[in-house]
Chains A and B, each alone.
Chain A
Amino acid sequence: MISFELDEEHAALRDSVRQFARDVVAPVAFEHYEQHSFPYEVIRQMGKMGLFGLPFPEEYGGMGGDYFALCIALEELARVDSSVAITLEAAISLGAMPVYRFGTPEQKATWLPRLTSGEALAGFGLTEPGFGSDAGGTQTRALLDGDEWVINGSKAFITNSGTDITAFVTVTARTGTRPDGTPELSTIIVPNGTPGFTVAPGYSKVGWCASDTHELHFDDVRVPAANLLGERGRGFAQFLRILDEGRIAIAALATGLAQGCVDESIAYAHQRHAFGQPIGNFQAIQFKIADMEARAHTARLAYYDAAARMLAGTDFKRQAAIAKLHASEIAVTNAREATQVHGGYGFMNETPVARFWRDAKILEIGEGTSEVQRMIIARDLGV
């Protein structure tokens, strides 16, 4: 009745992405990280092998897979490089998925084939300089002027919003006030290059250095009324669903990072000698690696469970929050421990675990902080 064995197809996908990650992603990861450059060639090849279309149907250029297939791919990519993993995660969960889920037939036909092939990326503009997970506090406004939306405001930390291949950013904005006085929130597609829409230079980030993140400014930006994505006033409900799914994806990514820490530590334990023998002979190292593996394993089980519930159509809110909370916290722990195993080399940026250490922290913050996850879990338990 209970099985966490992957079926043949998901196992084959995992193997395919694992090989790709090892052959194509890993060799250039450090260079892009160091130079804060976006890995266009890697992204192009990921597009070619269909990763950007994983959970979408073939009629939109997708692979006909499911959200779990995406999670498997994210885990394998994050085992070697979180920057490309988050680029893929955001491109699908935050870029293409809202269009697929809430778009009109015209919007889907216009945007999805380019997004699912990886030729184009889209960003999701939710967070603002003054507001994070508290989307009710959105200050960006959109007013209907004839048959055009006029948008004013700013967005912060928007992934994939400023690459050479970014097609548009979906922006959440106040489009009015409800009878009860709360803001009416809607989502609107704003193509890059629209006059008044400016993309600030990339941030200097602690981690995810090869991923594309910007602050965005909207100054009397005009787009057609038809660019409204989904129902007017449903922006809040729409993004909640997007975030619940996204948590499982981030949990998968965090699991990959945690597993990558195990991979690197095992290799180093065999290779590095101290006191005349490989450091893997020392119990201090063995126990660290055993604990890391145990943490990565349990994180994987938690996200598999959340994904299974989601695909089965049952409630998965609490399980997604648990998976995200657990995986992100153990990712930080594993990265710290793997760095310790590597000693001084672990403090050098060119050592993969050093990158993992820098990449891990954001996992406890993005897509809902650990505190928000605990709030969700507690509320779901009725306290």
Chain B
Amino acid sequence: MNIVVLVKQVPDSGSERGLSADDKTVDRGSANNVINEMDEYAIEEALKIQEAHGGEVTVLTVGPQQAAESIRKALSMGPDKAMHVVDDALHGSCALATSKVLAAAIGRLSPDLVISGAESTDGRVQVIPHMIAERLGIAALTGARKLVVDGATLTVERQTDEGYEVVTAATPAVVSVWDTINEPRYPSFKGIMAAKKKPVETLSLADLGIAADEVGLSGASSAVVEAGKRPPRQGGTKVTDEGDGGVKLVEFLASEKFV
């Protein structure tokens, strides 16, 4: 089974993040950029399927030149090769345009399965897997906490707020995963050394037959008009126990719909 894993480079969610002052896109220049956390789970899932069923795992990244570092790190976990779509015209692309680029690149790889993280920690729109599936005309199994491959049949447990749904589809398909699905491996030194020699194919928009004005800030279907700092956290509610502390606590929890 040939698998494409979508890997996005994002600013480290554990450190201070912001938007560029001029065009209000995610500030990547000053940030500590890392692999989107959820994508590490996607890579792990792809490698586990490969270990059980064979085939090839390809990392696919759309992003600026510096995303090459994240590609190398992804490869050090074990995938066989990578494709990097890099083009200055991509700067500021919306989800729709990004999905177009990803779908075109996936089309060149013709995988049986595309796996991605359920969301990225910068954009957090969760729509890319659906959009790609729609563009490619294949099934989307999203938000998986478990994935079982049986021949050409994929079965996922789709995580919801209430529990989970069991959903199946035939390959080819797109699966997005949450961090409940596995425990990603840490790159070993052997993996790190091997990653240096793995092929990374670099493509431009022209290589994919996409015009520059279809993507980027100018071709975006949405725009950030204004952005501000998250308001500081409000002081909490203090419950003084005068014999009725328990009741007051439950009243508070009920008012916030926790109970």
Contact = CB atoms under 8 A, between A and B. Distances in A.
B109 to A, nearest CB: 26
Nearest to B191: A50
Nearest to A23: B186
A69 interface: yes
A259 to B, nearest CB: 19
A195 interface: no
B129 to A, nearest CB: 26
Interface residues on A, range: 20 to 34
A63 B189 contact: yes
A53 B188 CA distance: 10
Contact of B192 (A12, A20, A45): A12
A51 B188 CA distance: 7
B185 A54 contact: no
Contact of A16 (B72, B192, B193, B196): B192
A13 interface: yes
A53 B185 CA distance: 16
Contacts of A54: 189
B192 A64 contact: no
Nearest to A11: B192
A48 interface: yes
B186 A19 contact: yes
A241 to B, nearest CB: 23
Contacts of A50: 188-191
B185 A49 contact: yes
B73 interface: yes
Given A12-B73, A12-B76, A49 B188 contact: yes
Contacts of B185: 48-49
B190 A64 contact: yes
Contacts of A16: 76, 186-188, 192
A147 interface: no
Interface in B54-92: 72-73, 76
A58 interface: yes
A65 interface: yes
Given A9-B196, A12-B73, A64 B186 contact: no
Nearest to B194: A64
B80 to A, nearest CB: 18
A24 B187 CA distance: 14
Contacts of A12: 72-73, 76, 187, 192
Contact of A63 (B72, B73, B188): B188
Contacts of A51: 188
B192 A13 contact: yes
B228 to A, nearest CB: 25
Interface string B175-200: 00000000001111111110010000
B190 A58 contact: yes
Contacts of A9: 189, 192-193, 196
A12 B72 CA distance: 10
Interface in B154-208: 185-193, 196
Contact of B189 (A8, A13, A48): A13
Interface string A45-86: 100111101100010000111000100000000000000000
A19 B187 CA distance: 10
Contact of A49 (B73, B186, B196): B186
Of listed B72, B186, B188, B189, residue having the most chain A CB within 10 A: B189
A46 to B, nearest CB: 9
Nearest to B190: A63
Nearest to B188: A50
A65 B76 CA distance: 14
Interface of A: 8-9, 12-13, 16-17, 19-20, 45, 48-51, 53-54, 58, 63-65, 69
Question: 9 shortest A-B CB distances, which residue pairs?
Answer: A50-B188, A63-B189, A49-B186, A65-B189, A63-B190, A16-B187, A12-B192, A20-B186, A49-B188
Interface of B: 72-73, 76, 185-193, 196
23 contacts: A8-B196, A9-B189, A9-B192, A9-B193, A9-B196, A12-B73, A13-B189, A13-B192, A16-B76, A17-B186, A20-B186, A45-B186, A48-B185, A49-B185, A49-B186, A49-B187, A49-B188, A50-B188, A50-B189, A63-B190, A63-B193, A64-B193, A65-B193
